[in-house]
């Protein structure tokens, strides 16, 4: 069945760049009507949407993170990626990748219907 | 955009109902019927429970229902069961291809 799996370094030093990848399997990565999202959750806190990207590479970012975020896709690998630069301890969180449902025919949707298991990223020297 | 406001905790006895609120603004919940709710058990990924205010994905029990009035959306869990003990997060479309999440509510089954 459809699965998403995050992969990342686990530990990142302050001021460096956090890089994460999400591998998609069990279904089409290029189906129209879906975007691919990154969402994070600091320890003991709520969820925060980081951004979403289409399979063709069109990204949308959370305005509060936009200056530090980049996202990309690799359709040959069924994979999409996140880069967050100039990290601080406040960026310590579990990072989830998710499928972002957007539209079907003339209907619009705005929700995340499938999630990866999450990857804990700790920012520390 | 500011996070949607949820109560930190809610509780109920087995068989009872619990309702969780999610308060936003005219820039998100008040304008768009794209409110979704997610259940998250400890150490697990969130699971979609409600989308478009009151629609349930396949496989979600009909004990879960959603509604909206003005800038506030609500999730009601009827006939509480032990497995419903979890964190619940709301989310709304906030315009300009943006999402906003709520602060999260921990539901305890007494």
Q: What is the pLDDT of residues B38-76, one digit of tens each?
A: 999 999 999 999 999 999 999 999 999 999 999 999 999
Report chain B's mean pLDDT, rounded to a whole number: 97
What distance separates the 2 farthest-apart alpha carbons in chain B?
41
Residue B1 banded pLDDT, cuts 50, 70, 90: confident
- pLDDT for the residue numbered B40: 97
pLDDT category at A21 given cuts 50, 70, 90 is very high
Choose among B1, B34, B97: nearest Cβ to A60.
B97
* DSSP-assigned beta bridge partners for residue B93: B99
Residue A108 pLDDT greater than 90, yes or no: no
Q: Among A77, A72, A26, A25, which Cα is nearest to A51's? A: A72
Tell me: pLDDT of B22 over 90.
yes
Inter-chain CB proximity A49 and B100 less than 8 Å:
yes
**Alpha-carbon separation of residue A51 from A37, B20, B64, B81, B84 (angstroms):** 6, 26, 28, 34, 29
pLDDT at A122 over 90: yes
Q: What mean pLDDT is predicted for residues A15-39?
A: 95
Cβ contacts of B52 on chain A, cutoff 8 Å: 109, 111
Give the whole-angstrom CA distance, residue B36 versus residue B49: 7
Q: What token pair was written down for A74?
A: 């690799």
Query: What distance in Å separates the CA atoms of residue A8 and residue A27, rounded to the nearest whole number?
Result: 22
How many Cβ atoms sit within 10 Å of the Cβ of residue A34? 23
**What is the predicted pLDDT for the residue at A5?**
97
Q: Burial level of A39, CB count in 10 A (0-12/13-18/19+)? A: buried
Per-residue pLDDT, A116: 97
Show Cβ contacts of residue B37 under 8 Å, excluding neighbours closer than 6 positions: B22, B48, B49, B50, B64, B66, B75, B88, B89, B90, B91
Q: How many CA atoms lie within 13 A of B44 on its CB side?
A: 13
Decide if A79 contacts A19 (C-beta within 8 A). no
Alpha helices by DSSP H, listed for A1-125, are: none
Q: Looking at residue A107, what is its pLDDT?
A: 85
Of the pLDDT bands very low, low, confident and very high (cuts 50, 70, 90), residue A23 is: very high
From the candidates B97, B102, B104, which should be mutated to test the interface with A, based on the most A CB atoms within 10 A? B97
Helices (H) and strands (E) in chain A, counts: 0, 11
Cβ–Cβ gap B36/A112 under 8 Å = yes
pLDDT over 90 for what percent of chain A? 90
For the stretch A44-77, pLDDT in tens is 999 999 999 999 999 999 999 999 999 999 999 9
């Amino acid at each position: 069945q459809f699965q998403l799996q995050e992969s990342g370094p686990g530990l990142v030093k302050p001021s460096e760049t956090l890089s994460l990848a999400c591998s998609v399997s069990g279904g089409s990565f290029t189906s129209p009507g879906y975007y691919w999202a990154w969402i994070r959750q600091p320890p003991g806190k709520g969820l925060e949407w980081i951004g979403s990207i289409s399979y063709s590479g069109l990204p949308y970012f959370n305005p509060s993170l936009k200056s530090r975020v980049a996202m990309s896709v690799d359709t040959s690998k069924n994979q999409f990626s996140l880069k967050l630069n100039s990290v601080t301890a406040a960026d310590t969180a579990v990072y989830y990748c998710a499928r972002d449902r957007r539209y079907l025919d003339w209907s619009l949707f705005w929700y995340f219907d499938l999630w990866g298991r999450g990857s804990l990223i700790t920012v520390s020297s | 955009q500011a996070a949607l406001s949820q109560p930190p905790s809610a509780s109920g006895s087995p068989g009872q109902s619990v309702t969780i609120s999610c308060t936003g603004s005219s820039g998100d919940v008040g304008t768009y019927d794209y409110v979704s709710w997610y259940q998250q058990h400890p150490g697990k990924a969130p699971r979609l429970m409600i989308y478009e205010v009151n629609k349930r994905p396949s496989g979600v029990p009909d004990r879960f229902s959603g509604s909206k009035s003005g800038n506030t959306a609500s999730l009601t869990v009827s006939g509480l069961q032990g497995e419903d003990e979890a964190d619940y997060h709301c989310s709304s479309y906030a315009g300009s291809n943006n999402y906003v999440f709520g602060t999260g509510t921990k539901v305890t089954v007494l």
